[in-house]
Protein backbone atom coordinates (compact mmCIF):
# COMPACT_ATOMS: atom_id res chain seq x y z
CA UNK A 1 0.00 0.00 0.00
CA UNK A 2 1.34 3.43 -0.91
CA UNK A 3 1.73 6.04 1.76
CA UNK A 4 -0.72 8.94 1.47
CA UNK A 5 -0.06 12.52 0.44
CA UNK A 6 -0.99 15.57 2.49
CA UNK A 7 -1.98 18.78 0.72
CA UNK A 8 -2.06 22.12 2.47
CA UNK A 9 -5.03 24.43 1.86
CA UNK A 10 -3.28 26.50 -0.80
CA UNK A 11 -2.40 23.35 -2.75
CA UNK A 12 -6.01 22.16 -2.63
CA UNK A 13 -7.15 25.56 -3.91
CA UNK A 14 -4.52 25.54 -6.67
CA UNK A 15 -5.58 22.06 -7.76
CA UNK A 16 -9.37 22.30 -7.78
CA UNK A 17 -10.43 25.93 -7.67
CA UNK A 18 -7.71 27.71 -9.65
CA UNK A 19 -6.99 24.59 -11.73
CA UNK A 20 -3.32 25.54 -11.99
CA UNK A 21 -2.10 23.95 -15.23
CA UNK A 22 1.30 23.24 -13.63
CA UNK A 23 -0.52 20.81 -11.33
CA UNK A 24 -2.53 19.03 -14.04
CA UNK A 25 -0.58 15.75 -13.78
CA UNK A 26 -0.97 15.69 -10.01
CA UNK A 27 -4.69 16.48 -10.28
CA UNK A 28 -5.15 13.72 -12.88
CA UNK A 29 -3.34 11.21 -10.66
CA UNK A 30 -5.45 12.14 -7.64
CA UNK A 31 -8.68 12.05 -9.60
CA UNK A 32 -7.59 8.68 -10.99
CA UNK A 33 -7.34 7.53 -7.36
CA UNK A 34 -3.62 6.74 -7.58
CA UNK A 35 -2.48 8.35 -4.33
CA UNK A 36 -4.44 8.34 -1.12
CA UNK A 37 -4.89 11.75 0.53
CA UNK A 38 -4.96 12.42 4.26
CA UNK A 39 -6.25 15.37 6.24
CA UNK A 40 -7.89 16.26 9.53
CA UNK A 41 -11.10 18.01 10.61
CA UNK A 42 -9.38 21.32 11.45
CA UNK A 43 -7.70 21.44 8.02
CA UNK A 44 -11.07 20.82 6.36
CA UNK A 45 -12.54 23.65 8.42
CA UNK A 46 -9.73 25.93 7.23
CA UNK A 47 -10.52 24.97 3.62
CA UNK A 48 -14.22 25.68 4.20
CA UNK A 49 -13.34 29.17 5.50
CA UNK A 50 -10.97 29.88 2.59
CA UNK A 51 -13.55 28.78 0.02
CA UNK A 52 -15.91 31.38 1.53
CA UNK A 53 -13.46 34.31 1.21
CA UNK A 54 -15.18 37.19 -0.57
CA UNK A 55 -12.25 37.76 -2.94
CA UNK A 56 -12.82 34.34 -4.53
CA UNK A 57 -16.55 35.00 -5.10
CA UNK A 58 -17.30 31.27 -5.10
CA UNK A 59 -21.07 30.70 -4.92
CA UNK A 60 -22.06 28.76 -1.77
CA UNK A 61 -23.24 25.74 -3.79
CA UNK A 62 -19.87 25.55 -5.57
CA UNK A 63 -18.04 25.91 -2.23
CA UNK A 64 -19.95 22.87 -0.99
CA UNK A 65 -19.18 20.91 -4.16
CA UNK A 66 -15.45 21.63 -3.91
CA UNK A 67 -15.32 20.75 -0.22
CA UNK A 68 -17.37 17.57 -0.67
CA UNK A 69 -15.30 16.42 -3.65
CA UNK A 70 -12.08 16.90 -1.70
CA UNK A 71 -13.49 15.30 1.46
CA UNK A 72 -14.56 12.23 -0.56
CA UNK A 73 -10.92 11.59 -1.53
CA UNK A 74 -9.60 11.74 2.05
CA UNK A 75 -8.74 9.54 4.90
CA UNK A 76 -9.20 11.61 8.05
CA UNK A 77 -6.68 11.31 10.84
CA UNK A 78 -7.37 11.98 14.49
CA UNK A 79 -5.80 14.91 16.36
CA UNK A 80 -2.35 14.08 17.74
CA UNK A 81 -1.93 12.19 20.97
CA UNK A 82 0.41 13.14 23.78
CA UNK A 83 2.88 10.41 22.76
CA UNK A 84 3.14 11.50 19.09
CA UNK A 85 6.62 11.92 17.63
CA UNK A 86 8.11 15.35 18.23
CA UNK A 87 7.97 17.81 15.34
CA UNK A 88 9.73 21.12 14.89
CA UNK A 89 7.48 24.15 15.37
CA UNK A 90 6.47 25.95 12.21
CA UNK A 91 6.90 29.73 12.42
CA UNK A 92 3.26 30.02 11.32
CA UNK A 93 1.26 28.18 13.99
CA UNK A 94 -1.67 27.77 11.55
CA UNK A 95 0.54 25.50 9.42
CA UNK A 96 1.64 23.21 12.25
CA UNK A 97 -1.44 21.06 11.64
CA UNK A 98 -0.15 20.02 8.21
CA UNK A 99 3.07 18.70 9.73
CA UNK A 100 1.03 16.81 12.32
CA UNK A 101 -1.29 15.38 9.67
CA UNK A 102 1.65 14.18 7.57
CA UNK A 103 3.24 12.56 10.62
CA UNK A 104 0.03 10.98 11.92
CA UNK A 105 -1.06 9.70 8.51
CA UNK A 106 2.44 8.30 7.89
CA UNK A 107 2.40 10.30 4.66
CA UNK A 108 5.17 10.13 2.13
CA UNK A 109 4.93 13.82 1.22
CA UNK A 110 3.42 17.10 2.37
CA UNK A 111 2.78 19.18 -0.76
CA UNK A 112 2.93 22.92 -0.19
CA UNK A 113 4.18 26.15 -1.69
CA UNK A 114 4.43 27.71 1.78
CA UNK A 115 7.99 28.92 2.31
CA UNK A 116 7.88 28.42 6.08
CA UNK A 117 6.84 24.78 5.68
CA UNK A 118 9.34 24.19 2.86
CA UNK A 119 12.15 25.46 5.11
CA UNK A 120 11.46 22.57 7.48
CA UNK A 121 12.11 20.00 4.74
CA UNK A 122 15.64 19.26 5.90
CA UNK A 123 14.94 19.40 9.63
CA UNK A 124 16.31 16.37 11.46
CA UNK A 125 12.90 15.56 12.97
CA UNK A 126 11.11 15.72 9.59
CA UNK A 127 13.55 13.91 7.27
CA UNK A 128 12.95 10.40 8.65
CA UNK A 129 9.17 10.84 8.63
CA UNK A 130 8.11 12.45 5.33
CA UNK A 131 9.21 14.83 2.61
CA UNK A 132 7.97 18.39 2.17
CA UNK A 133 8.00 19.66 -1.38
CA UNK A 134 6.20 22.01 -3.74
CA UNK A 135 3.41 20.49 -5.84
CA UNK A 136 4.75 22.05 -9.05
CA UNK A 137 6.40 19.28 -11.02
CA UNK A 138 5.68 16.65 -8.34
CA UNK A 139 5.11 13.23 -9.82
CA UNK A 140 4.15 10.02 -8.16
CA UNK A 141 6.80 7.33 -8.04
CA UNK A 142 6.40 4.61 -10.64
CA UNK A 143 5.12 1.29 -9.31
pTM score, two decimals?
Answer: 0.93
The CA distance from 74 to 104, in Å, is 14
The CA distance from 14 to 80, in Å, is 27
CB neighbours of residue 111 within 10 Å: 27
> Quick one: pLDDT at residue 1?
54
pLDDT tens by residue, the chain, 143 residues? 589 999 999 999 999 999 999 999 898 888 887 789 999 999 999 999 999 999 999 999 999 999 999 999 999 999 988 888 899 999 999 999 999 999 999 999 999 999 999 999 999 999 999 999 999 978 776 55
Helix, strand, coil percent values for the chain (each to nearest 5): 45, 10, 45
Spatial neighbors of 76 by CB under 8 A, at least 6 apart, are: 38, 39, 40, 41, 44
Amino acid sequence: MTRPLVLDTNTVMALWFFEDPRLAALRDAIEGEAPALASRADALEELRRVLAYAQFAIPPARQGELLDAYRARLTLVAPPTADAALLPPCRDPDDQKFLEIARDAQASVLLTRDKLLLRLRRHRLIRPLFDICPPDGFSLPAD
